[in-house]
């Protein structure tokens, strides 16, 4: 019995040491791990209107960039249209009509590109998940894809 | 009570005594020390240190384990169909199992070999051999999928394969069964073996960048059984060594008739010289038929091409290319140490292990120290090539791997043990029992120039009492030894699929960072791909109906299809629109006479379905994908032949409820 206790003790110590050493590399590969708040990337405190992700300030023109919106529409067709309608009707996810007035560009683009972390941390994303009950898939959009999609959303919301 | 105690103490005492005196404990109790579990323990959520690629033997597949935990990570379908993954069932993968005999759904994958650069494992591909219908497969280690399979003409029982040269210039294949060559009339009496049967060694070139395989040349050899092989390395790079038995050329009761002679051979082949002969036009073009199948990760589908010609060199005419080294007795393993100097032959029936020297072999050739010829091939004098013999190592030596520190480890089938010995002085250093009847063994990089000798895995043929009984058929097993110290230490047993033969292992870092997470949907060039739900459709071409379908968490588009008629062949081309790691969707339809589809993100796969009855047929996603996975389903309506129900399809369109009831339809 004693031997068994000693053995378990040892394995616990080993496990504990392993965990400590690996923490940094692990966090990036595990979508469910909660990251500590980033301080060095210009995201000092959490801004619920912006969410968490690389987009802190998105430049949006006064009028529509039609070419960019057309690109966004293409991406919408392949990667988004299965779940999002262009009306207000909820399909799997919410309809897109009016989304640009409900949410900031930064929040939308962060959610589209940094989906898992947003779902783990952002209160508004979590509230939406409680309604839809399907975690939005990370569709591996590039930064340009995300920006173009936002422009397409603007077009959908009537920006000329 | 007291009596029982006394007996137990006595039994314990005796078994301890036996254990120490015989050095061969017969139960796990005295073979495993207390820290064994800690050494094999990998905490939940932690990665293993090594990948271990284990041949699946008669399962036809290749399994991937983590070491030291022995956890099964994946079974890669190779030569046998796998309905779970749709392998051999989806329209896209069927051509991978095509051969000159047509579609072959099963084989026996014996050996595995990781690709190398400069004699070190480079983590790009792993090769496997089919022992029944002779083929070699290449598996891509970014996708862990079989990407190419090439069939071998003039061959049967591709056993001494898929061993490679140190820069993966070639993967070889040596035929176990000799046969009349494919372009000869094979309708001859079996007992004309000596006149009509030939052995064949195939050298398959491997594309430097893309890994593409091609039979560069074959060497026609005397009719014997080629068994195993390994390439030279370092100083012996440019040579290949093949063990062979049945030099008696028996065609019946080989158990007795192929065990007559004291020595059979290891055949040494100077393949660099063979290349020169080939360039000099000495090869003979032979008309043959063999399949070459490739899978594309762009079109997500396979193509099978039947090739009709191979270039053959004749060993008899190539006096400076092939040599026979006598090797006692019915040699099996043929293993080359990391320096390339020592070639270890393991005679299954020999009571010693001969170690040959590459330098001495070169000198023997230069001095023409021959002992006659075997079917026109010079036979080197045994002593002229011999470095020395390991005396009384054990019973039934089979295979040897190396630790890169001057030691060799050989398995002994009959005496059920692994024996560690020093290559220089040929002295036995340690013995470890196996449970039971060990065949192959593996040390990470143990047949390369740079072994990473922390562990040794023994692959046993018999497990008997090692696991809970499961009826007459029991699991095969692997046993993990820590070999970082002077003595081998057994630390873990784990069961394996099929019967494991050779295996390979490599540090996880060499492979894990290259692992692909998903296929980019934009790059999907499958002609039946639907990129986006708006492109989903159903198209009739005569009696063929093509369903272009998309899958995303958690619905199919279309999920209601009507207008299918009896006599139709329906092709469900399902594209997974997901673009994230670990989100496959499955697809199954009731009554499908094949398998399911398992579609990786960004991929398109096709299931053929021939309805057998009029009615409503459900289909659904088989791989749990989200909280609403159970809702991921749909219906296909099948009407009688000649029915006028129009072809329609939809998703999320609730049509006004129709008034027809099942009963009224039936009455009509």
Contact: B38, A10; criterion CB under 8 Å: yes
**pLDDT at res. B667:** 45
Is a pLDDT exceeding 60 seen at residue B207? yes
**pLDDT at res. B20:** 40
In chain B, what residues touch A139 (CB-CB under 8 Å)?
A: 578-580
Is a pLDDT exceeding 90 seen at residue B179? yes
Distance from CA of B38 to the nearest CA of A (A): 6
What count of Cα atoms within 13 Å lies in the side-chain half-sphere of residue B234?
Answer: 14
Is the residue at B91 inside a domain? yes
Cross-strand pairs, B655 = none
Distance from CA of A5 to the nearest CA of B (A): 12
- Identify the band that residue B652 occupies on the pLDDT scale cut at 50, 70 and 90: confident
What is the spatial distance between Cα B132 and Cα B78, in angstroms, rounded to a whole number? 13
Q: What is the pLDDT of residues B480-508, one digit of tens each?
A: 999 999 999 999 999 999 999 999 999 99
CATH number, domain of B574, equals 2.60.40.420
Cα distances (angstroms) measured from residue B649 to each of A84, B210, B300, B561, B563:
20, 42, 25, 4, 9
Q: Identify the three-state secondary structure at position B385.
A: helix
Q: Which residue among B531, B535, B578 places its CB closest to the CB of A137?
A: B578
Q: What value, to the nearest 5°, has the Cα angle with vertex B252 and ends B247 and B255?
A: 70
Structure tokens at B650: 């939809």
Q: What is the pLDDT of residues A8-67, one digit of tens each?
A: 444 444 433 433 334 344 444 444 444 444 444 444 578 999 999 999 999 999 999 999
Mean pLDDT across B657-661: 69
- Whether B557 has its CB under 8 Å from any CB of chain A: the answer is yes
Mean pLDDT across B124-138: 98
- Whether B628 has its CB under 8 Å from any CB of chain A: the answer is yes
CATH number, domain of A84, equals 1.10.760.10
What is the spatial distance between Cα B234 and Cα B404, in angstroms, rounded to a whole number? 13
Mean pLDDT across B361-372: 97
Mean pLDDT across A132-146: 93
Q: How many domains does chain B have?
A: 2
What is the average pLDDT value for chain B, to the nearest integer? 93
Strands across the sheet containing B585-589? B597-599, B585-589, B615-620, B633-639, B560-565, B648-650
Q: DSSP strand E in B271-416: where?
A: 284-296, 301-314, 322-328, 331-336, 342-347, 352-357, 370-374, 377-380, 386-391, 397-402, 407-412
Q: Identify the three-state secondary structure at position B479.
A: strand
Is the residue at A25 inside a domain? no
Contact: B580, A10; criterion CB under 8 Å: no
Contact: B553, A135; criterion CB under 8 Å: yes
- Whether B306 has its CB under 8 Å from any CB of chain A: the answer is no
Distance from CA of B522 to the nearest CA of A (A): 9
- Identify the band that residue B318 occupies on the pLDDT scale cut at 50, 70 and 90: confident
**pLDDT at res. B31:** 64
Q: Which residue among B34, B520, B578 places its CB closest to the CB of A3?
A: B34
Contact: A11, B37; criterion CB under 8 Å: yes
**pLDDT at res. A39:** 43
Is the residue at A129 inside a domain? yes
Distance from CA of A139 to the nearest CA of B (A): 4
Q: How many domains does chain A have?
A: 1
In chain B, what residues touch A14 (CB-CB under 8 Å)?
A: 38, 41, 43
What is the spatial distance between Cα B582 and Cα B549, in angstroms, rounded to a whole number? 20
**Are B444 and B51 contacting, i.e. CB atoms less than 8 angstroms apart?**
no
Q: What is the pLDDT of residues A87-135, one digit of tens each?
A: 999 988 999 999 999 999 999 999 999 999 999 999 999 999 999 888 8
What count of Cα atoms within 13 Å lies in the side-chain half-sphere of residue A17?
Answer: 7
Q: Which residue among B37, B43, B626 places its CB closest to the CB of A134?
A: B626
| Domain end (from B271, B296, B317) | B317
**pLDDT at res. A29:** 46
Structure tokens at A119: 């779902």
What is the spatial distance between Cα B370 and Cα B383, in angstroms, rounded to a whole number? 11
- Identify the band that residue B92 occupies on the pLDDT scale cut at 50, 70 and 90: very high
| Domain end (from B317, B337, B359) | B317
**Are B625 and B663 contacting, i.e. CB atoms less than 8 angstroms apart?**
no
Is the residue at B87 inside a domain? yes
What is the spatial distance between Cα B281 and Cα B545, in angstroms, rounded to a whole number? 52
| Long-range contacts (CB closer than 8 Å, 24 or more residues apart) made by A61-67 | A63/A159, A63/A160, A64/A151, A64/A154, A64/A155, A64/A159, A64/A160, A65/A151, A66/A155
Q: How many CB atoms lie within 10 A of CB A106?
A: 19
Distance from CA of B46 to the nearest CA of A (A): 8
Instruction: Name the residue range of residue A119's domain.
Output: 66-156
Q: Write down the ipTM of this complex.
A: 0.75
**pLDDT at res. B34:** 79
- Whether B518 has its CB under 8 Å from any CB of chain A: the answer is yes
Share of chain B above pLDDT 90, in %: 88
Contact: B41, A11; criterion CB under 8 Å: yes
Contacts of A28 (CB under 8 A, 6+ apart): none
**Are B328 and B383 contacting, i.e. CB atoms less than 8 angstroms apart?**
no
What is the spatial distance between Cα B386 and Cα B356, in angstroms, rounded to a whole number? 4
- Identify the band that residue B27 occupies on the pLDDT scale cut at 50, 70 and 90: low
Instruction: Name the residue range of residue B170's domain.
Output: 77-221+283-317
Is the residue at A6 inside a domain? no
Is a pLDDT exceeding 70 seen at residue B4? no
Is the residue at B381 inside a domain? no
Contact: A137, B652; criterion CB under 8 Å: no
- Identify the band that residue B259 occupies on the pLDDT scale cut at 50, 70 and 90: confident
Distance from CA of A13 to the nearest CA of B (A): 11
What is the spatial distance between Cα B194 and Cα B173, in angstroms, rounded to a whole number? 22
Mean pLDDT across B264-283: 96
Is a pLDDT exceeding 80 seen at residue A1? no
Q: Which residues of A touch B (CB under 8 A)?
A: 3, 7, 10-11, 14-15, 18-19, 22, 77-79, 81-83, 91-92, 133-135, 137-140
Dmax over Cα atoms in chain B, in whole Å? 97
Q: What is the pLDDT of residues B442-471, one digit of tens each?
A: 999 999 999 999 999 999 999 999 999 999
In chain B, what residues touch A83 (CB-CB under 8 Å)?
A: 552-553
Is a pLDDT exceeding 60 seen at residue B139? yes
Mean pLDDT across B402-409: 98
Q: Which residue among B35, B518, B531 places its CB closest to the CB of A78?
A: B531
- Whether B213 has its CB under 8 Å from any CB of chain A: the answer is no
**pLDDT at res. B32:** 81
**Are B431 and B409 contacting, i.e. CB atoms less than 8 angstroms apart?**
no
Is the residue at A89 inside a domain? yes
What is the spatial distance between Cα B577 and Cα B603, in angstroms, rounded to a whole number? 8
Mean pLDDT across B26-40: 74
Q: Which residue among A3, A15, A137 places its CB closest to the CB of B580?
A: A137
Structure tokens at B183: 């372009």
What is the spatial distance between Cα B324 and Cα B136, in angstroms, rounded to a whole number? 26
Contact: B532, A14; criterion CB under 8 Å: no
Contact: A82, B532; criterion CB under 8 Å: yes
In chain B, what residues touch A7 (CB-CB under 8 Å)?
A: 34-35, 37-38
Is a pLDDT exceeding 90 seen at residue A69? yes
Distance from CA of B449 to the nearest CA of A (A): 31
Is the residue at B404 inside a domain? no
Q: Which residue among B43, B518, B583 places its CB closest to the CB of A18?
A: B43
In chain A, what residues touch B552 (CB-CB under 8 Å)?
A: 82-83, 92, 137
Scanning the structure block, which residue is given the tokens 């496997």?
B128
> Helix axis angle, A105-113 relative to A143-156, nearest 10°?
130
Which chain B residue has the Cα nearest residue A115? B580
Is a pLDDT exceeding 90 seen at residue B319? no
Q: What value, to the nearest 5°, has the Cα angle with vertex B637 and ends B636 and B640?
A: 140
List the end-to-end C-alpha distance of chain A, in Å, as a whole number. Answer: 78
Q: Which helix (H) or strand (E) holds B476?
A: strand B476-482
Contact: B552, A3; criterion CB under 8 Å: no
Q: Are strands B301-314 and B213-222 parallel, antiparallel or unpaired?
A: parallel
Is a pLDDT exceeding 70 seen at residue B23? no
Q: Identify the three-state secondary structure at position B118.
A: coil
In chain A, what residues touch B555 (CB-CB under 8 Å)?
A: 82, 92
Q: Are strands B145-151 and B98-99 parallel, antiparallel or unpaired?
A: unpaired
**pLDDT at res. B663:** 67
* CA-wise closest residue to B493 among B419, B445, B434: B434
Contact: A14, B652; criterion CB under 8 Å: no
**pLDDT at res. B33:** 81
**pLDDT at res. B55:** 97
**Are B315 and B219 contacting, i.e. CB atoms less than 8 angstroms apart?**
yes
Which chain A residue has the Cα nearest residue B601? A139
Chains A–B, number of C-beta pairs less than 8 Å apart: 74
In chain B, what residues touch A19 (CB-CB under 8 Å)?
A: 43
Quote the DSSP letter at residue B651: S
Contact: A78, B532; criterion CB under 8 Å: yes
Q: What is the pLDDT of residues B559-579, one digit of tens each?
A: 999 999 999 999 999 999 999
Q: What is the pLDDT of residues B616-636, one digit of tens each?
A: 999 999 999 888 899 999 999
What is the spatial distance between Cα B503 and Cα B509, in angstroms, rounded to a whole number? 18
Mean pLDDT across B178-198: 96
Is the residue at B292 inside a domain? yes
B388 vs A9, residue with greater confidence:
B388
Is the residue at B53 inside a domain? no
Is the residue at A29 inside a domain? no
* Rg over CA atoms, chain A: 21
Q: What is the pLDDT of residues B102-117, one digit of tens each?
A: 999 999 999 999 999 9
pTM of the complete model:
0.89
Q: What value, to the nearest 5°, has the Cα angle with vertex B595 and ends B590 and B596?
A: 75
Contact: B37, A79; criterion CB under 8 Å: no
What is the average pLDDT value for chain A, to the nearest integer? 81
């Amino acid at each position: 019995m004693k031997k068994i206790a000693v053995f378990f003790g040892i394995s616990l110590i080993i496990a504990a040491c392993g965990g400590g050493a690996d923490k940094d590399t692990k966090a990036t590969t595990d979508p469910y791990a909660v990251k500590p708040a980033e301080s060095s990337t210009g995201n000092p405190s959490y801004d619920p209107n912006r969410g968490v992700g690389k987009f802190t300030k998105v430049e949006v023109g006064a009028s529509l960039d039609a070419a960019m919106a057309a690109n966004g529409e293409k991406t919408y067709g392949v990667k988004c249209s299965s779940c999002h309608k262009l009306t207000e009707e909820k399909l799997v996810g919410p309809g897109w009509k009016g989304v640009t007035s409900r949410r900031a560009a930064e929040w939308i683009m962060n959610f589209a590109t940094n989906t898992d972390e947003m779902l783990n941390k952002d209160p508004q994303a979590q509230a939406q998940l409680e309604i839809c009950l399907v975690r939005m898939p990370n569709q591996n959009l590039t930064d340009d894809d995300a920006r173009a999609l936002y422009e397409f959303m603007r077009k959908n919301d009537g920006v000329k | 009570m007291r009596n029982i105690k006394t007996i137990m103490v006595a039994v314990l005492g005796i078994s301890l005594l036996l254990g120490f005196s015989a050095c061969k404990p017969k139960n796990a109790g005295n073979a495993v020390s207390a820290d064994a579990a800690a050494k094999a323990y990998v905490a939940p959520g932690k990665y293993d240190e090594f990948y271990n690629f284990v041949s699946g033997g008669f399962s036809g597949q290749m399994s991937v384990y983590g070491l030291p935990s022995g956890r099964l990570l994946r079974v890669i379908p190779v030569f046998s169909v796998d309905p779970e993954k749709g392998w051999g069932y989806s329209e896209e993968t069927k051509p991978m199992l095509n051969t000159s005999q047509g579609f072959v759904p099963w084989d026996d994958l014996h050996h595995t070999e990781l690709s190398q650069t400069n004699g070190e494992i480079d983590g790009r591909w792993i090769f496997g051999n089919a022992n029944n219908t002779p083929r070699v497969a290449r598996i891509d280690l970014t996708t862990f999928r079989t990407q190419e399979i090439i069939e071998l003409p003039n061959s049967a029982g591709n056993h001494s394969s898929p061993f490679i040269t140190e820069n993966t210039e070639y993967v070889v294949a040596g035929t176990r069964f000799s046969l009349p060559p494919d372009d000869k009339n094979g309708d001859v009496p079996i007992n004309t073996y000596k006149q009509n049967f030939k052995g064949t060694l195939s050298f398959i070139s491997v594309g430097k960048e893309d890994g593409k395989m091609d039979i560069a040349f074959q060497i026609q050899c005397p009719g014997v059984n080629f068994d195993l092989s390994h390439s030279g390395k370092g100083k012996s790079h440019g040579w290949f060594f093949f063990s062979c038995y049945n030099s008696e050329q028996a065609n019946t009761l080989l158990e007795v008739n192929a065990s007559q002679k004291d020595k059979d051979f290891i055949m040494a082949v100077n393949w660099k010289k063979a290349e020169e002969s080939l360039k000099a036009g000495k090869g003979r073009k032979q008309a043959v038929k063999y399949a070459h199948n490739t899978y594309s990760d762009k079109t997500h589908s396979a193509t099978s091409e039947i090739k009709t010609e191979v270039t053959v060199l004749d060993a008899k005419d190539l006096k400076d290319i092939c040599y026979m080294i006598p090797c006692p007795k019915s040699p099996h393993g043929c293993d080359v140490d990391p320096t390339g100097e020592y070639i270890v032959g393991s005679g299954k029936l020999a009571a010693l292990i001969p170690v040959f020297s590459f330098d001495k072999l070169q000198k023997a050739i230069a001095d023409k120290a021959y002992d006659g010829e075997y079917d026109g091939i010079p036979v080197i004098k045994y002593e002229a090539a011999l470095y020395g013999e390991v005396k009384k190592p054990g019973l039934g030596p089979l295979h040897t791997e190396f630790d890169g520190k001057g030691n060799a480890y050989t398995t002994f089938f009959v005496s059920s043990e692994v024996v560690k010995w020093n290559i220089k002085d040929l002295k036995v250093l340690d013995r470890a029992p196996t449970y039971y009847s060990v065949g192959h063994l593996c040390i990470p990089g143990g047949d390369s120039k740079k072994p990473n000798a922390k562990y040794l895995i023994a692959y046993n043929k018999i497990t008997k009492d090692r696991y809970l009984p499961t009826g007459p058929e029991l699991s095969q097993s692997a046993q993990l030894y820590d070999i970082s110290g002077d003595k081998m230490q057994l630390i873990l047993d784990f069961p394996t699929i099929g019967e494991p033969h050779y295996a390979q292992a490599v540090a996880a870092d060499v492979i894990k960072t290259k692992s692909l997470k998903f296929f980019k949907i934009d790059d999907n060039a499958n002609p039946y791909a639907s990129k986006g739900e708006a492109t989903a459709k159903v198209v009739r071409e005569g009696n063929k109906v093509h369903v272009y379908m998309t899958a995303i968490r958690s619905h199919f588009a279309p999920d209601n299809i009507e207008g299918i008629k009896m006599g139709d062949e329906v092709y469900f081309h399902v594209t997974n629109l997901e673009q994230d790691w670990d989100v496959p969707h499955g697809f199954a339809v009731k009554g499908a006479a094949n398998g399911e589809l398992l579609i990786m993100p960004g991929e398109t796969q096709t299931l053929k379905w021939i309805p057998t009855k009029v009615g409503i047929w459900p289909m659904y996603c088989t791989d749990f994908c989200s909280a609403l996975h159970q809702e991921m389903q749909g219906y296909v309506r099948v009407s009688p032949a000649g029915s006028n129900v129009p072809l329609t399809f939809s998703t999320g369109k609730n049509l006004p409820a129709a008034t027809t009831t099942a009963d009224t339809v039936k009455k009509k």
